[in-house]
């Protein structure tokens, strides 16, 4: 279990965002980013199908799973650097997700605990799949950054944002045409999220503060999400039976991460899931 707290992660994200503002202010971002409703439409078109659809996570590390994708060093080519670079494993995994029939990619861009960066969004453009900026978005600049680096959607996490901030970030996302997946874990967070009418409502079975899994989260919360909002099941999805349980609880979309990233054949795992849920 991770010894890194949610507050520590969010504090690191805020510091990183503040540092970037010294180079790229909100006003400069506004000059570079134009509203485009096609971002939102790409997400809805990809994920709205009669059967369960899939978002696959791309992350190099996580507080709960540790290192998951480590590239071989190539010092002769790149020279000394602390920046994590995209390598063949990263590109191969993105390609495998595409081959397996995934509908969307969730790219972890948090630097200190997930070993990601904004450039990672651009590196998987070759898949032509919609891209979710999977991060701890805390301010308006991070919304516009997602747009400028090619994200079609962003994650907003109810556990780390107060009502006023949630509403403000939701409003700017709508203004610029980027879809929102609003993540909740319990009934109180769900009640806060529903009035904002996000395109996607994600129920995370993992409590981000304790990292503990809650087995009944999908069954309790997904049926309460109204039609018109895509219902997403997050965390703890490993087997076909896990997918069936999420689907039975009302999930339209499943977001899978660790199981796929650790699989010897992620494309084959995706095909197995899809075959096992055909007709459900």
DSSP conformational letter for 161: -
Q: What is the maximum alpha-carbon separation in the chain? A: 55
pTM of the predicted structure, to 2 decimals:
0.93
| pLDDT value of residue 215 | 86
Q: Give, in order, the Cα–Cα distances in Å from 157 to each of 101, 127, 174.
A: 27, 26, 16
**pLDDT beyond 50 at 82:** no
Of the pLDDT bands very low, low, confident and very high (cuts 50, 70, 90), residue 66 is confident
Instruction: Tell me the CB-side half-sphere exposure of residue 8, using CA atoms within 13 A.
Output: 10
Question: For the residues 9-27, what does the mean pLDDT come to?
Answer: 93
Domains for the chain: give ranges and CATH numbers: 6-68+81-276 (3.20.20.70)
Of the pLDDT bands very low, low, confident and very high (cuts 50, 70, 90), residue 221 is very high
Of 24-28, 106-110, 197-201, the range with the lowest mean pLDDT is 24-28
Q: How far apart are CA 45 and CA 66, in angstroms?
A: 33
Q: List, for residues 245-260, the tens digit of each pLDDT value.
A: 999 999 999 999 889 9
Q: SS3 sequence, 118-142?
A: CHHHHHCHHHCCCEEEECCCCCHHH
**CB environment 109-148: b (16+ within 10 A), e (fewer):** bbbebbbbbbebbbbbeebebbbbbbbbbbbbbbbbbbbb
| pLDDT value of residue 1 | 46
* % of the chain with per-residue pLDDT over 90: 80
Q: Give, in order, the Cα–Cα distances in Å from 151 to each of 47, 108, 148, 245.
A: 15, 11, 7, 29
* % of the chain with per-residue pLDDT over 70: 95
Q: How far apart are CA 10 and CA 218, in angstroms?
A: 25
Helix (H) or strand (E) segment spanning residue 243: helix 240-248
Collect all residues with Cβ–Cβ distance below 8 Å to 244 and sequence separation of at least 6. Answer: 276, 277, 280
| pLDDT value of residue 264 | 93
Tokens 């309790």, residue?
A: 220
**pLDDT beyond 60 at 156:** yes
Is the CB of residue 33 less than 8 Å from the CB of residue 148? yes
Question: What mean pLDDT, rounded, does the chain reach?
Answer: 92
**pLDDT beyond 80 at 72:** no
**pLDDT beyond 60 at 15:** yes
Of the pLDDT bands very low, low, confident and very high (cuts 50, 70, 90), residue 39 is very high
Identify the bridge partners of residue 234 per DSSP, sorted by sequence position. 204, 255
């Amino acid at each position: 279990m991770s010894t890194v707290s949610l507050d520590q992660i969010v504090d690191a994200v805020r510091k990183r965002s503040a540092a970037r503002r010294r180079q790229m202010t909100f006003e400069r971002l506004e000059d570079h980013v134009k509203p485009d409703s096609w971002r939102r439409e790409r997400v809805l078109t990809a994920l709205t199908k009669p059967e369960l659809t899939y978002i696959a996570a791309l992350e190099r590390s996580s507080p709960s799973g540790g290192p998951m994708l480590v590239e071989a060093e190539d010092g002769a080519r790149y020279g000394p650097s602390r920046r994590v670079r995209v390598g063949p494993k990263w590109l191969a995994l993105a390609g495998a997700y595409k081959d397996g029939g995934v509908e969307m990619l969730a790219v972890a861009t948090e630097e200190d605990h997930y070993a990601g960066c904004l450039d990672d969004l651009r590196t998987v453009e070759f898949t032509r799949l919609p891209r979710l900026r999977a991060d701890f978005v805390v301010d308006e600049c991070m919304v516009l950054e997602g747009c400028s680096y090619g994200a079609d959607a962003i994650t907003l996490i109810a556990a780390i944002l107060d009502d006023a901030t949630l509403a403000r970030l939701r409003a700017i996302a709508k203004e610029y045409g980027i879809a929102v997946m609003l993540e909740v874990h319990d009934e109180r967070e769900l009640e806060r999220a529903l009035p904002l009418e996000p395109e996607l409502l994600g129920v995370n079975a993992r409590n981000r503060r304790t990292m503990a899994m809650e087995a009944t989260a999908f069954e309790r919360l997904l049926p309460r999400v109204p039609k018109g909002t895509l219902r997403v099941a997050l965390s703890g999805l490993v087997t076909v039976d896990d997918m069936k349980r999420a689907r039975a609880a009302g999930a339209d979309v499943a977001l899978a991460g660790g199981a796929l990233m650790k699989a010897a054949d992620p494309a084959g795992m995706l095909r197995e899931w899809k075959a096992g849920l055909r007709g459900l």
